[in-house]
């Protein structure tokens, strides 16, 4: 456990303070980056294999190449810290413990793409983290690491301004096009793509949207070199990831681990196992919008996008939600469906109506008023939402409902038939005496 590389959550006291950051080599990677041509910086990120940490795992270097070159039009970087998906709470660790590495990552990314203005979008309720991040930005400005004084500090002509934009507490504002309409001062409504943000983004200008953790990871990539970063973790999805683990584990929290770490290692070694030594019924691997894994599926599962894709789910935000054998999955699914129904912006019919229907049907099951046909209806509604909406909130609502109903059909059937929710005993993960010893199969 001790040789785990730490690229973001460093074990250095007061690392969030500018002087401590500088004493540990802070802002030196940016000096290194500006000795390279902007395209070389982008190439280094491409070589690293870095994939976005905001949910879709899109290759970051490739995204940067979509930004037009040689134009006088202003370009923007929007750093996505809305972090409103249930089960996701890792970007706040960066605001709190490593804000200057994020700022340095913004400088490097901005330099690579020829951007002079960056916005960090933070959910409005996160007062504490907004204040901490603002303090770091103010300190960086006052020392000339950000803003027009950068020209003197670093001895070149490039400079960049950073602004925090506070959201008003809407999950949909984390969706990239919605985030941009929100920054522009309008209600956060997703826009149809294409055009993509690199073509028409903020104020119709070329814009790159990247997650907070993605941009923070750019700094160590430039420091160690793309090739070295690519050797960490799973080859198809390299690096370390901030896994936010919640639910029925003894030590919930955010763990920085290489991609490809076994899910059972995360739960049993790092998180101290399941509370009261219970068995696991289900695990959502990447935030509440991802299809769940059954407890008896998690043995040998590696936590990276390519491995999870094979199992019909995704890495998402790396937010792992562990549900023990006593979890009432009808109630859990209803709670998730309620969230997405509530957060739907209402622009497209399949999402606006479908999310409400799914919630109503699940409510019928919970209150004992449903029939088996309602389970097929749920799957059918989810199928009709998926892929038929302007933004991916529709998929985010459909996937967990379809996943729970199909993977735990027996539990849902039982709930319907007996007019009560039922805990199925034969589909839980084996009980363990330690991290590596399986005592019984079910």
Ligand X SMILES: Cc1cc2nc3c(=O)[nH]c(=O)nc-3n(C[C@H](O)[C@H](O)[C@H](O)COP(=O)(O)O)c2cc1C
CA–CA gap between residue 85 and residue 79 (Å, rounded)? 16
Work out which of 351, 361, 415, 428 binds ligand SF4, going by CB under 6 A: 351
Work out which of 49, 54, 110, 273 binds ligand X, going by CB under 6 A: 54
> From the list ligand SF4, ligand X, none, which binds 55 (C-beta under 5 to 8 Å, kind-based)?
ligand X
DSSP-derived 3-state class of residue 240: strand
> From the list ligand SF4, ligand X, none, which binds 12 (C-beta under 5 to 8 Å, kind-based)?
none
Site for ligand SF4 contains 352 (CB under 6 A)? yes
> From the list ligand X, ligand SF4, none, which binds 110 (C-beta under 5 to 8 Å, kind-based)?
none
Which residue's C-beta sits nearest to ligand SF4? 351
Phi (first) and psi of residue 321, to 5 degrees:
-115, 115
Work out which of 83, 304, 324, 325 binds ligand X, going by CB under 6 A: 83
In the region spanning residues 267 to 326, those forming contacts with ligand X, defined by CB under 6 A, are none
Rg (CA), the chain: 22
Backbone CA torsion sign across 277, 318, 424, 369: positive
> From the list ligand SF4, ligand X, none, which binds 394 (C-beta under 5 to 8 Å, kind-based)?
ligand SF4
148 close to 159: Cβ distance less than 8 angstroms: yes
> From the list ligand SF4, ligand X, none, which binds 333 (C-beta under 5 to 8 Å, kind-based)?
none
Least separation in angstroms between residue 244's CB and ligand X is 12
Site for ligand SF4 contains 358 (CB under 6 A)? no
- CA 273, distance to chain mean position in Å, is 23
In the region spanning residues 213 to 242, those forming contacts with ligand X, defined by CB under 6 A, are 214
Work out which of 55, 87, 197, 291 binds ligand X, going by CB under 6 A: 55
27 close to 181: Cβ distance less than 8 angstroms: no
Q: Which residues of 204-309 form beta strands (DSSP E)?
A: 207-211, 233-234, 237-238, 240-247, 253-258, 280-284, 293-294
Backbone CA torsion sign across 118, 123, 129, 130: positive
Nearest C-alpha neighbor of 231 from the set 242, 223, 240: 240
Encoded one letter per residue, x for contact with ligand SF4 by CB under 6 A and - for no contact, window 387-406 reads --xxx-xx------------
Least separation in angstroms between residue 291's CB and ligand SF4 is 18
How far CA 60 is from CA of 44, 67, 145, 241, in Å, comes to 11, 12, 24, 15
Q: Closer CB to ligand SF4, residue 99 or residue 394?
A: 394
Where do contacts with ligand SF4 occur on this chain (CB under 6 A)? 172, 190, 344-348, 351-352, 389-391, 393-394
């Amino acid at each position: 456990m001790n040789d785990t590389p730490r690229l973001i959550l460093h074990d250095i006291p007061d690392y969030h303070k500018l002087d401590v950051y500088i004493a540990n080599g802070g802002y030196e990677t940016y000096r290194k980056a500006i000795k390279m041509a902007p395209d070389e910086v982008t190439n280094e990120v491409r070589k690293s294999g870095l994939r976005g940490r905001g949910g879709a795992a899109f290759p970051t270097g490739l995204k940067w190449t979509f930004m037009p070159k040689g134009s006088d039009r202003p370009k923007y970087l929007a750093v996505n810290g809305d972090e409103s998906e249930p089960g996701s709470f890792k970007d706040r660790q960066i605001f709190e413990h490593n804000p200057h590495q994020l700022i340095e990552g913004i400088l490097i990314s901005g330099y690579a793409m020829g951007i002079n203005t960056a916005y960090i979008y933070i959910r409005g309720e996160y007062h504490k983290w907004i204040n901490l991040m603002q303090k770091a930005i103010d300190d960086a400005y006052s020392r000339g690491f950000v803003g027009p004084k950068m020209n003197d500090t670093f001895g070149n002509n490039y400079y960049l301004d950073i602004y925090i934009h506070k959201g008003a507490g809407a999950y949909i504002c984390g969706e990239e096009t919605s985030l941009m309409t929100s920054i522009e001062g309008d209600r956060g409504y997703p826009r149809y793509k294409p055009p993509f943000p690199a073509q028409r983004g903020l104020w119709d200008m070329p814009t790159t949207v990247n997650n907070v953790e993605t941009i923070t990871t750019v700094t160590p990539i430039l420091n160690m070199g793309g090739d070295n970063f690519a050797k960490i973790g799973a080859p198809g999805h390299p690096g370390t990831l901030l896994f936010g683990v919640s639910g029925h584990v003894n030590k919930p929290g955010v763990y920085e681990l290489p991609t490809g770490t076994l899910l059972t290692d995360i739960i049993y070694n790092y998180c101290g196992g399941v509370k009261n030594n219970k068995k696991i019924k289900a695990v959502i691997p990447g935030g509440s919008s991802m299809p769940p894994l059954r407890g008896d599926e998690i043995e040998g599962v590696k936590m990276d996008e390519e491995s999870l894709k094979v199992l019909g789910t995704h890495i998402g935000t790396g937010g792992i939600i562990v549900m023990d054998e006593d979890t009432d999955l009808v109630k859990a699914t209803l709670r998730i469906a309620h969230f997405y129904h509530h957060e739907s912006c209402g622009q497209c019919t399949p999402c606006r109506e479908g999310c409400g229907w799914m919630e109503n049907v699940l409510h019928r099951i919970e209150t004992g008023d449903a029939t088996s046909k309602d389970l097929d209806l749920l799957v059918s509604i989810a199928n009709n939402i998926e892929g038929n909406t302007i933004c991916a909130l529709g998929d985010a609502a459909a996937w967990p409902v379809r996943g729970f109903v199909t993977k735990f059909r027996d539990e849902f059937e039982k709930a319907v038939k007996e007019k009560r929710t039922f805990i199925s005993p034969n589909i839980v993960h084996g009980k363990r005496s330690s991290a590596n010893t399986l005592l019984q199969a079910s």
